[in-house]
Amino acid sequence: MSQDGDHYAAYYADKLWNLIPAIYRFQDTDSFERSGPMRELVNRIGSQAAVLRRAADRLWEDQSIETCDDWVIPYIADLLDARLVNGLAAREQRLNVAKTIHYRRRKGTVAVLEELASDITGWNVCVVEFFRRLGRTRHGLDPQIGIADEGSLQDKSTLLQEERLIGALTGTACGGWADLRSPYGAEKTGTAFDEYFHAADVRRGVGKTGWYNIPRLGVFLWRLFSFPAGLGFDAAHSAKAGATPIKSGTCTGAFTYFSFDPTGRKIPLFAAATRALGDTWTSPSEWQLPTPMSPGLLKQGFDNLYAKVVSVTHNVIDFKSLALLDGNGHLIDSTGIARDADDFRKLASNVYFIDPEQGLLFCKGTPPKDLAVVYHYGFASSIGAGEYDRTPFAGQPAVEPAGNIPIHGGKDALLTHLATLAPTGTLTIEDSFTYDEIEDIAGIKNVLLRSMNTSRPLIRLPAASGDGRREWTLSGDGEAELTLEGLFISGGDVVLSGNFKQVTLTSCTFDPGSLDKTGSAYELSVDGRELAPSCLWIDGHVEKLVISRCVMGPVNERTKGMLDHLQIGDSIVQAIGTDPAVKMALGTLEMNRCTVLGRASVHSLKASDCLLDDTLTVVDDQIGCIRFSAWSTGSRLPRQYECVEIQPQASVFVSRKFGEPEYAQLGEDADKSIQHGAIDATISEGAENGSAMGAFSSEQYPIKMRALAMKFEEYMPMGLVPVFINVT
């Protein structure tokens, strides 16, 4: 049982206390409500007795690596002489020890290297022996490529493909001239699925150089995750699968198009990570990896990417990477979807075409009413709103407000229930549709507004009249508590008015907005609305605001608003345009493992493992500190420890644009932006635990890379040199 629920500490403390003579207990304190020094001592002894009792209860579980406590893992590893990597998370350490014998039995094979890399990092991995990609003259000991006399032509061709003697996509023979007749096969040149052969490269194997040589072993790494959208639904309450696409406002007549993204952005679609895991490990095909979908991949692997109906009678669908659903939740048949743009132009009406690079769905004819989509998008971590398990990060109140109201269906389904939610209540959205009608909530005492676990509904505030921004006002009454969990809010601002004791945001996304290519105006969604930031405005008195694992637009005070304490952890806060990312007149800002894109101004600061992209002004720089962080030139800060200085808006990120898969991800050359610091100063490994600074610190990129290098040295064939290649 958990330490909070087993009551061992209280039990042993009371048992010891009752053994003490009553005269001493009576003289310990004059107050019935406050413990005296002797009672405090007994309580501490009881706590230690509880620790021993829990350890005794766990003795049997601690014998097995699958069930033991984290502190036992190194001891079991010593019994197997398994090499552990300092700083690596407990999950990876546990897998390393649990499968040590399995790895050793298959040591030196490509399969075990792929499996080992996947277990150690949690990423998708494909290992390529680059000596097989060398163009060379064949000799007498090489296997014959020609077709044998017996057997069918198809069987022989399949056998040669399985033996890697001819390419499955291009038909290029091993070591020979490139067959360029397959566009998709040619597109894979220079990737893990390259079927062509290259001249030897004697340079050192780093990044994209030094691949093709006899001792080189290519380790292709997909570090981004592929998150589903539209699969979060509660079948028990008749909630349907799907997300709400946005219809273009510019197309007329019989032709129209939609964006898969419910905010109206053009985003690349990803393939779902569907490689099979089991006792027999096989190298993955491209459609099994969390990779951006190209038109060639979609055409070549359409049958493996698009959903299938398992049972027509019960409408059971095997969802994969993509699906189009009509208003009744039925799958649109794949025969009505063109495989490429040429087919789409040739075919008659009632046909669809998917552009995976922009995340657009084109329709010729009349689309069904309430069209829904299922797709996947890429992101670096499970922060912000998303269809992932939020249980480890749940920030619900200690006592959940009574009277849960389930909501599903999208559109205006929220409107009626929001007005009746206060002063105390819980509202749970059970699907991933878009809700575009809202109502202000007044008189809040204790309110929990959340999405169902593994769902991502979008609250898209309706457009305001004129040039203003639509605001959603949440008003607290006295010592109010408000919790928002798993919500995606776009199209307007959220205003906290009245008085709140605590407001908690967990796994939420407040749309940070997007600028167009010129950088001077907001990008427009496909239906013509500006993708402006969704700000969180403090318009009343909030004693404490907790933001955990969120992607946020600006968080600012305005008019008479006052925020006493702002606590942000594992989050991204971005401001574009003129608004600051964070603005607090008198309060304290406490940040851990955060990325702040934009200016900020606060009264006092405590920060650790953070990346401050622009200037931060701290009024009272005599208190607080900033440690293991990167800060921008021109900032006014309290004392610093193990920090580095960069120029404002330095080129440290792959992308600053929300919606792109690499949003806020550190670039491989991030350390080149450091202006001042120690000789070995680093951003990519500068966090306290040796990980990267910023919101993705918990992903442990550098620690996992060190673990890979160590474990490959142990299990790789002698004489080979690994080349680690980050695909995403």
* pLDDT 10s digits, 163-181: 677 778 888 878 778 888 8
**Confidence (pLDDT) at 138:** 74
340-390 pLDDT tens trace? 887 777 777 778 899 999 999 998 888 888 899 999 999 999 999 999 988
Using pLDDT thresholds of 50, 70 and 90, give the confidence band for residue 136: confident
Closest CA to 551 of 521, 516, 594: 594
**Confidence (pLDDT) at 152:** 57
Half-sphere CA count of 441, side-chain side, radius 13 A = 29
Query: Is the pLDDT reported for residue 393 higher than 80?
Result: no
591-608 pLDDT tens trace? 999 999 999 999 999 999
Amino acid at 525: S
The enclosing H or E element of 537 equals: strand 536-538
Compute the Cα dihedral for 594, 666, 458, 429 and give only its sign.
Answer: negative
62-67: average pLDDT: 87
**Confidence (pLDDT) at 1:** 43
264-279 pLDDT tens trace? 999 999 999 887 766 6
Using pLDDT thresholds of 50, 70 and 90, give the confidence band for residue 565: very high
The enclosing H or E element of 220 equals: strand 216-222
**Confidence (pLDDT) at 162:** 66
Amino acid at 492: G
562-580: average pLDDT: 91
- Show the CA angle centred on residue 293, arms to residues 526 and 378, nearest 5°: 75
Using pLDDT thresholds of 50, 70 and 90, give the confidence band for residue 159: low
Strand, helix or coil at 652?
coil
User: For 122-180, where are the alpha helices, taking DSSP H only?
Assistant: 153-162
**Confidence (pLDDT) at 499:** 92
Which token pair is 426? 């819980």
CA distances from 85 to 69, 89, 233, 365, 599 (A): 17, 9, 39, 58, 38
Query: Is the pLDDT reported for residue 583 higher than 60?
Result: yes
Query: Is the pLDDT reported for residue 665 higher than 90?
Result: yes
- What is the reported pTM? 0.89
Residues 280, 278: Cα–Cα separation, whole Å:
5
**Confidence (pLDDT) at 174:** 80
621-652 per-residue burial string, b: 16 or more CB within 10 A, e: under 16: beebbbbbbbbbeebebbebeebbbbeeebeb
Question: Would you give the DSSP letter of residue 294?
Answer: P
Query: Is the pLDDT reported for residue 650 higher than 50?
Result: yes
Tell me the Ramachandran region of residue 629: left when phi exceeds 0, alpha when psi lies from -120 to 50, beta otherwise: beta
Residues 294, 357: Cα–Cα separation, whole Å:
6
Compute the Cα dihedral for 447, 498, 573, 457 and give only its sign.
Answer: positive
Using pLDDT thresholds of 50, 70 and 90, give the confidence band for residue 315: confident
Residues 542, 540: Cα–Cα separation, whole Å:
6
514-556 pLDDT tens trace? 988 887 888 899 888 888 999 999 999 999 999 999 999 999 9
Give me the residue spans of the domains in the chain. 8-57, 225-379, 403-579
Strand, helix or coil at 89?
coil
- Show the CA angle centred on residue 491, arms to residues 490 and 493, nearest 5°: 85
Residues 365, 255: Cα–Cα separation, whole Å:
6
- Is residue 229 within 8 Å of 434, Cβ to Cβ? no
**Confidence (pLDDT) at 58:** 81
Tell me the Ramachandran region of residue 369: left when phi exceeds 0, alpha when psi lies from -120 to 50, beta otherwise: beta
Q: What is the 3-state secondary structure (H, E, C) of 469-499?
A: CCEEEEEEEEEEEEEEECCEEECCEEEEEEE
Higher pLDDT, 159 or 398: 159
Neighbour count for residue 354 (Cβ, 10 Å): 26
Residues 404, 628: Cα–Cα separation, whole Å:
42
Which token pair is 333? 């048949």
**Confidence (pLDDT) at 595:** 94
CA distances from 544 to 30, 34, 478, 547 (A): 35, 28, 13, 10
1-14 pLDDT tens trace? 445 577 888 888 88
Compute the Cα dihedral for 278, 282, 288, 292 and give only its sign.
Answer: positive
704-728 pLDDT tens trace? 999 898 988 888 888 888 999 999 8
Closest CA to 527 of 261, 254, 228: 261
The enclosing H or E element of 75 equals: helix 73-80
CA distances from 463 to 122, 206, 389, 471 (A): 41, 50, 32, 10
Residues 289, 274: Cα–Cα separation, whole Å:
7
Residues 312, 315: Cα–Cα separation, whole Å:
5
189-245 pLDDT tens trace? 888 888 888 888 888 888 788 888 889 999 999 999 999 999 888 777 777 888 999
Winning range, highest mean pLDDT, from 90-94, 324-328, 413-417, 636-640: 636-640
Residues 171, 351: Cα–Cα separation, whole Å:
32
**Confidence (pLDDT) at 605:** 93
Task: Determine what percent of the chain is predicted with pLDDT higher than 70.
Answer: 94
Closest CA to 473 of 489, 492, 497: 497
Query: Is the pLDDT reported for residue 661 higher than 90?
Result: yes
DSSP string, 347-388: S-SSEEEEETTTTEEEEES-PPTT-EEEEEEEESSS-SS-SS
Residues 579, 399: Cα–Cα separation, whole Å:
36
465-478: average pLDDT: 84
Strand pairing partners for 524? 530
Neighbour count for residue 662 (Cβ, 10 Å): 18
Cα Rg of the chain (Å, integer): 29
Cis peptide before 143 (omega within 30 of 0): no
Per-chain mean pLDDT for the chain: 86
DSSP string, 102-118: HHHHTTT-HHHHHHHHH
Amino acid at 10: A
Query: Is the pLDDT reported for residue 76 higher than 70?
Result: yes
Using pLDDT thresholds of 50, 70 and 90, give the confidence band for residue 679: low
CA distances from 520 to 38, 414, 516, 660 (A): 68, 35, 7, 19
- Is residue 670 within 8 Å of 684, Cβ to Cβ? yes
